[in-house]
Amino acid sequence: MNPMLNLWLIPLLPLAGAAINGFFGKRSSRKAVTTVALFFSGAAFAMALWVAMRFSSLSLPYQEYFAHWLRSGSFSVDFAFYLDQLSLVMLLVVTGVGFLIHVYSIGYMWGDPSYYRFFSYLNLFMFFMLTLVLAGNYLVMFIGWEGVGLASYLLIGFWFTKDSAASAGKKAFIVNRIGDFGFLIALFLLIRHFGSLNFNQVFQSVLPMSAETSGAGLLTVIGILLMVGACGKSAQIPLYIWLPDAMEGPTPVSALIHAATMVTAGVYMVSRSHVIFERAPIALTVVAIIGTLTAFFAATIGIAQTDIKKVLAYSTVSQLGYMFMACGVGAFSAGIFHLMTHAFFKGLLFLAAGSVIHAVGGEQDMRKMGGLRKKIPWTFWTMTAATLAISGIPGFSGFFSKDEILWRSYQASWVYWLVGVITAFITSFYMFRLWFMTFFGEYRGEADTEHGHGGHSASDAHGGHGHGGIHESPRVMVIPLVVLAVLSVVGGYVGVPGSLGGNNRFDKFLGPVFHGSAPAKEHSTALGEKGAPEQETEGPEPQKAVSTELMFTGISVVAAFLGLGLAWQLYYRRPELPDKVAASFSGVYEVVLHKYYVDEFYGALFVKPLINFSTRILWQGVDQKVIDAAVNDAGDGAKHVSDEVRHMQSGNIRSYAGWVAAGSAVVIAFMIWMWTGAR
């Protein structure tokens, strides 16, 4: 039997930190707040590591039951945790990256007046995220799901005095709600048809079912609805619009929540429910298509962005698209693999970007940067590592994961692969564009004296750093950068594909979760072209496959280097070219610059009609003319009636007695009548 791991400690530690900081942080010193926040998040990380060490000795999936939550009839939900390879990976990523970002935030947020609030929120986020990851059933997962939404809302709107921040937070929350709507309906369907939300029971009852190859069935519907939820949380088309705005939050938040952990919750959720998806090929296709489209689409937007964080945001969206593409083609382990590496290098990118912004005094526009290579070497080098990683330059973590995805997607359908490769090219292009614009050429910003005065420091956390001069960030910020840099370099080697002489250990590790759960063979042939059969990744692969895989690897590498070259051409050797290009393609450029006017489109299509509807019908119509009217009329009616009846209540005791007597006479008469009638 399993030893008691006390998993519940892992989420509860950050919660305790959040509570302590939230209640007492206002009065306690920054040092105290720092200590608390670091201690609890670090403790969670240590605990996760300890669990990882004990992991081999566990019989999986390891489950912990704490208490009954709901009970109605046969349906019951418990507070239960569920640990297997998948959630272990997520656990390590969340706690590890989270802890690093905590450390980073100390330096970054030091000058902020509501320092304690930030860390309280951050810890709270950790709590919810861990709950989500460790949940033993969909409902507990949903708690975490909503909780991270809340935390992200709070943190995006951290500088709520800034209107854009506040509205960005609202936007994120509302868009997420749309996704949660789908998620909830999926949960209801699960309850309705499987009578339970526990992963075990649901999956046990799903496993024997055969794949719905012919037309959409229950599982398909559930899958698509789950995907809707995932779209909301993981910023996929059509619900990705909140993520770029979310960059209004402090950069560590963007790094932790909107790059590393929260936005990947959707991927986690989809791959957690892989049993369902594998039996719903149509849903899988939907996932894959959405992922592919998002990847490409967001990447193209990324090209034209000039705000450094916006670029990163769109790249995040597109990377998430990659992950969903992987899930969509049934390569869940590849998706999770990319999730992990992405957590490393994208977190690093954001942190480094934050460090850059920090250095130039709150400026976020890349056109006002440049030539920072010398001034902030640590940031430069770490950022370089991250850029190489994300662009899929061989040897870096991103390369392995992205390559894995591309290869598996090719096995599903060459279309995915093609789009994927193009996206890879674009990715490396805009990443290196960012890289060149930021660190090379000569500095295009204002004079040093301008740095970090009110306006800028208000625009991002730079309160304490009023002094001029572009300067390297303090050590407390640099160390996490370095650690993450190392991780994003070596992080990929856990999953070196067989074709490159490795034996995909990561895939093997996750194997027990994903493999063997696929529907029976004849179905898998039935879904031959799409939803790659899991078996292919197991064991040494056939030679032909190896050679082709190598070829495709080569192609993607070439694409990456092409992107690099183009960026070098445009933004390093001949910096004037881009404007020309933009001018020549002004129409396209405008469209891309304005993100394909998606926000405006949504505004015109949904938001404005909704507002008008609510104003005209709901507010002025229903609320004022029906509800308020009803209430008021009820009040007036009561008043009028009582004005009449009041006279009955003369305050004369004997009159009351008279009424009582008359009434009792009536009652007695009635009773006797009934009684005589009865006999």
**Cβ-based nearer residue to another protein, 52 or 671:** 671
Binding segment for another protein among 72-80, 102-110, 623-631, 668-676 (CB under 8 A)?
Answer: 668-676
**Cβ-based nearer residue to another protein, 161 or 652:** 652
Cα angle, residue 102 at apex, residues 96 and 103 outer, rounded to 5°: 95
**Under rule CB under 8 A, how many of the chain's residues touch another protein?**
19
Nearest distance from residue 644's CB to another protein, in Å? 16
**Cβ-based nearer residue to another protein, 611 or 668:** 668
**Cβ-based nearer residue to another protein, 581 or 668:** 668
**Cβ-based nearer residue to another protein, 52 or 672:** 672
**Cβ-based nearer residue to another protein, 611 or 669:** 669
Distance CA 119, CA 108 (A): 12
Touching another protein, residues 579-618 (CB under 8 A): none
Distance CA 456, CA 466 (A): 10
Nearest distance from residue 638's CB to another protein, in Å? 20
Distance CA 315, CA 168 (A): 19
Residue pair 304/592 in contact by the 8 Å Cβ criterion: yes
Touching another protein, residues 630-659 (CB under 8 A): 650-655, 657-659
Nearest distance from residue 653's CB to another protein, in Å? 5
User: Exactly one of 52, 70, 626, 669 binds another protein (CB under 8 A); which one?
Assistant: 669
Residue 377 is a binding residue for another protein (CB under 8 A): no
Nearest distance from residue 655's CB to another protein, in Å? 4
**Cβ-based nearer residue to another protein, 641 or 667:** 667
Residue pair 426/299 in contact by the 8 Å Cβ criterion: yes
User: Exactly one of 174, 588, 638, 665 binds another protein (CB under 8 A); which one?
Assistant: 665
State phi, psi for 64 to the nearest 5 degrees. -125, 135
User: Exactly one of 70, 629, 630, 668 binds another protein (CB under 8 A); which one?
Assistant: 668
Distance CA 116, CA 30 (A): 7
Q: Which of 199, 203, 495 is nearest to 339 (CA)?
A: 495
**Cβ-based nearer residue to another protein, 490 or 666:** 666
Three-state helix/strand/coil letters over 574-631: CCCHHHHHHHHCHHHHHHHHCHHHHHHHHHHHHHHHHHHHHHHHHHHHHHHHHHHHHH
Distance CA 86, CA 92 (A): 10
**Cβ-based nearer residue to another protein, 544 or 654:** 654
Reported as type and span, the H/E element at residue 82 is strand 75-83
Nearest distance from residue 132's CB to another protein, in Å? 54
Nearest distance from residue 656's CB to another protein, in Å? 9
Q: Which of 59, 73, 42 is nearest to 5 (CA)?
A: 59
DSSP per-residue codes, 181-242: HHHHHHHHHHHHHHS--BHHHHHHHHTTSPP--SS--HHHHHHHHHHHHHHHHHT-TTSTTH
Nearest distance from residue 636's CB to another protein, in Å? 25
Structure tokens at 181: 């709507």
Nearest distance from residue 657's CB to another protein, in Å? 5
Using CB under 8 A as the criterion, which residues of the chain lie in contact with another protein when the complex forms? 650-655, 657-666, 668-669, 672
